[in-house]
Amino acid sequence: MGQSFAHRIRIEAHAIWLAVRDPRTPAVAKVVGMLVVGYALSPIDLVPDFIPVLGLIDDALLIPAGVWLFAKLVPAELLAEHRATAQAASQRPVSRWGILVILATWAAIALIAYEFVMLRYD
């Protein structure tokens, strides 16, 4: 079954992040990799996503171009190793209990903050 573009981008970004942290990666590639991962994960785009068509085209062009450049700067075996690790990590099951605990923690913090504000200004 084919993977979605977004899923492949997440795997590539994760693989690049792993490669950037690897001491075998050349320094120039580390800089390019940090820029690619930063742009892929950043909520700020060159062209905002709410602009029809253009907002998505920048992601569809810039991120793959950055991945291509990064792949040219590192040994193929190194990137293949990190892609395999990233792919395996994407196959791990999602802990619904973990998500629930995190959401409950944030809800409790919000409730405590609300109560604190209400007591202070009541």
What is the model's pLDDT at position 2?
61
Q: 64-116 pLDDT, tens per residue?
A: 999 999 999 999 999 999 999 999 988 876 677 888 888 899 999 999 999 98
Please, is 72 exposed, middle or buried when counting C-beta atoms within 10 Å of its C-beta (0-12, 13-18, 19+)?
A: exposed
Higher pLDDT, 70 or 1: 70
Lowest mean pLDDT among 8-17, 39-48, 71-80, 109-118: 39-48
Print the domain residue range for 116: 95-122
Q: CA angle, corner 75, sides to 71 and 80, nearest 5?
A: 70
User: Domain tally for the chain?
Assistant: 2
What whole-number percentage of the chain has pLDDT above 70?
A: 92
pLDDT at 5 over 90: no
26 and 84 within one domain: yes
73 and 17 within one domain: yes
Distance CA(100)–CA(86), nearest Å, equals 25
Mean pLDDT of 16-23: 95
67 and 105 within one domain: no
